Amino acid sequence: MCPICMNSNLFIFAIIKDCKIYQCEHCQHQFIKETADYEKIYNDSYFNGAEGGYPNYLENADQLIIQGQWYANLLKKYIKPGHLLDVGAASGHILKGFTENGWTGVGLEPNKTMVDYGRKVLGLTMVNEGIETFETKEKFDLVTVIQVISHLSGINVAIEKAAEMTKPGGLLLIETWRRDSLVYRLSGMHWHEYNPPSVRHWFLRKNVDLLVSKYGYSEISHGMRIKKIKGNFSKSMFQHPLLRWMTAIIPNQINIPYPGDDLFWSLYEKN
């Protein structure tokens, strides 16, 4: 059954790394069915060179803080700084960017090493858990799900839990990758996001809207995310033969603008 529209008419779109990718005939959402073992998939090697992960996640610390600051500035149009829940916070650097702009917050992250880093180095409130099992009496002005929603195993449980923890009139911020993009059309099966089992969902933008609307969220804004990435990370992302040749000449440690149109953000208000 499709986790977005609950339609049972599915077909196997592709098999990658022994994972069957299903596509819904109704809403065209793509996903894998296998249940994720977060501790196994997002172990320390995922953040330090494992296939499908990051060459060195902490090398991007400065850019991640800038990303949090960028979103904090963007949200000033819609909400005053308050209390936020950052889902899939990793080391907490994006959350740190928010706290430097007046927010308080809690970071959820299944990798203990990343949680310890966020606590000890950045001084953040971090919880070593996924949102599907997280329990709290706190209500949040903002829930952020930044480059995480495509990794969630129980995606409906996760968004339902987020909705329960969002104050009425509070906001949900999602950043993820979209298949209705030029980069996807040019890359096809070489698209960098076809990377199961760590990536589990491949969205059309409309399907993110459909998913969260089931839990009382309405979109108030959206846009493309412009960011910079390390040269070595660009090499791990672009697997198309032509793009591999182009990125091979980029120095590993230089920050370059991400050139694609497949990364977007959407902002939703809780009814």
In this model, does residue 252 exceed pLDDT 50?
yes
Mean pLDDT over residues 230-238, rounded? 50
The confidence band for 52, taking pLDDT boundaries of 50, 70 and 90, is confident
In this model, does residue 244 exceed pLDDT 60?
no
Q: Are strands 217-224 and 201-202 parallel, antiparallel or unpaired?
A: unpaired
**Is 3 inside any structural domain?**
no
**Is 2 inside any structural domain?**
no
**Is 4 inside any structural domain?**
no
Residue 261: phi and psi, rounded to 5, are: -115, 15
The confidence band for 87, taking pLDDT boundaries of 50, 70 and 90, is very high
Q: How far apart are CA 170 and CA 117, in angstroms?
A: 29
**Is 38 inside any structural domain?**
yes
Tens of pLDDT, residue by residue over 140-170, are 999 999 999 999 989 999 999 999 999 999 9
**Is 102 inside any structural domain?**
yes
**Is 5 inside any structural domain?**
no
14, β-bridge pairs: 21
Amino acid occupying residue 259? P
Question: What is the CB neighbour count within 10 angstroms for residue 190?
Answer: 14
Tens of pLDDT, residue by residue over 166-209, are 999 999 999 999 999 998 998 899 898 999 999 999 999 999 99
Q: What is the domain range of residue 68?
A: 10-270
What CATH number did the domain enclosing 43 receive?
3.40.50.150
Q: What is the pLDDT of residue 183?
A: 87
* Total number of domains in the chain: 1
Report pTM.
0.89
For residue 222, count CB atoms less than 10 angstroms from its CB and return exposed for 0-12, middle for 13-18, buried for 19 or more.
Answer: middle
